[in-house]
Amino acid sequence: MSFISIRSVTKSYSKGKSMITPLENLSLDVPKGEFLALMGPSGSGKTTLLNLVAGIDTPTSGELVIQDRDIANLSRAELTRWRSVHVGYIFQLYHLVPILSAYENIELPLLLGKFSKSERKAKIIAALELVGLSDRAHHRPSELSGGQEQRVAIARAIVHDPGLLVADEPTGDLDRESADSILNLLNDLANKHGKTIVMVTHDPKAAAAAHRTLHLEKGQLIENLQPAH
Ligand code: ADP
Ligand code: MG
């Protein structure tokens, strides 16, 4: 059974009087623990697909089952609750709160659940350790490098232990060295911690760090045509 099972999903938006359909009859299976890269031209629907998988948006039609739960027909409120338990989202520009320390940023998703202060502390310390930033807990984002900011953002995405991580261009704003270390971290999260990861990227080196790459073109997914590495 796939961790993510997408069957004939179509997503349309109305734009004035006309309709735009970035995803048409798309199907995809992602096994648990896979690190999947999605590539494709700008406007091809990568973020749209990521937002469906993350439960931020719902398909116009089709089936979307994640970890045995059909999320295509959940209400807004049900979707929000589902997402807060099962999904971690990683952004290109980190989206950290500037006036909060790394520790406090990582705490944010836990404030949505019923965790005691000491339970939260244990989880935050474990997440900081996992991303290699135990010594930066009390730094603010402006006191960190871009690569370190993205590590804090990844710690925030995993602190509530979701099975699924989605990442939209997570290395798009980083130098090569920082990007490579973030890709290693994502690889470890899949290989050692069993996270299922869907990452959008424009960078062929980032895609090569994933287990599999798919290209989104004209609403459809195409297998990578490059030779296997
Ligand atoms: P990508 O991430 O591959 O650049 P997107 O998924 O952001 O592409 O967008 C795919 C298409 O859907 C684009 O034409 C975009 O303008 C359109 N689109 C995305 N989100 C919305 C929305 N909320 N309302 C209307 N159109 C949208
Ligand atoms: Mg996008």
- What total number of domains does the chain contain? 1
Closest CA to 60 of 5, 7, 10: 10
Ligand 1: residues within 6 Å at CB? 13, 15, 20, 22, 40, 42-48
Q: Which pLDDT score is estimated for 219?
A: 85
Distance (Å) from CA 208 to ligand 1 centroid:
25
Q: Which pLDDT score is estimated for 130?
A: 96
Q: Per-residue pLDDT for 215 more than 80? A: yes
Q: How confident is residue 229, by pLDDT bands cut at 50, 70 and 90?
A: low
Q: Which pLDDT score is estimated for 112?
A: 86
Among all ligands shown, which has an atom nearest to the Cα of 57?
1
Give, for ligand 1, the residue of 17, 23, 48, 56 to mutate: max count of ligand atoms closer than 8 Å to Cβ.
48
Model pLDDT for residues 48-93, shown as the tens digit of each residue: 999 999 999 999 999 999 999 999 989 999 999 999 999 999 999 9
| Residue 201 belongs to domain with CATH number | 3.40.50.300
Q: Which residue range(s) make up the domain with 150?
A: 2-225
Q: Per-residue pLDDT for 226 more than 60? A: no
